[in-house]
Structure 1
């Protein structure tokens, strides 16, 4: 693998990650200080994972917050693809999703996506 190349898949991470390139590859946007301020405007606090940069990009979170500001509601969708035992790393998105649910009064749907794993895995 060339020094400036890296691989990120749902199952594997290799190389030195260039987060700017990763954001471009996945078509997401950086989480900016302005976006963090807008979240804090509604939640009246910052989430420790956002403060620490655990989450560094998003897709359409700015649009969601704009709609929320206009009085529109949203729901959260998350889950788990059960390919093995649950471990502490699975808690990261769940803890954040629960915080969003509590702070925004949103409904949350949690799915065990065994069918998604079946269709996306090649072997």
Structure 2
């Protein structure tokens, strides 16, 4: 219905108020610091486990765009990796033709989850 598509729900309105409240500043600072650590951790993990991957840390946000075309996993490596490693990534081709051979990875997670995901993909790459 149009009301659901275009109007703010109660939960969204309350979340917006809470996000901009002064009491949220500490939480937001901690979140930004954690994302920055993960952004750099991902670069280190890729260098260790997937050295042929190309990645430029994003200036903001928590989504990484990673070129895995050097591994020969086709235009949609996310599909291969889900099947072979049980690591779910965003499909690069969903973002247009330039997304072939790429994946988008959400690094807004714990460092342990990020490390496990990249090491599983790296183990698959090494086994091929």
User: Which of the pair is proportionally richer in strand?
Assistant: 1
The structure number with the bigger radius of gyration is 2
The TM-score normalised by the length of structure 2 is 0.30
Higher relative contact order (CA 8 A, sep 6+): 2
The TM-score normalised by the length of structure 1 is 0.31
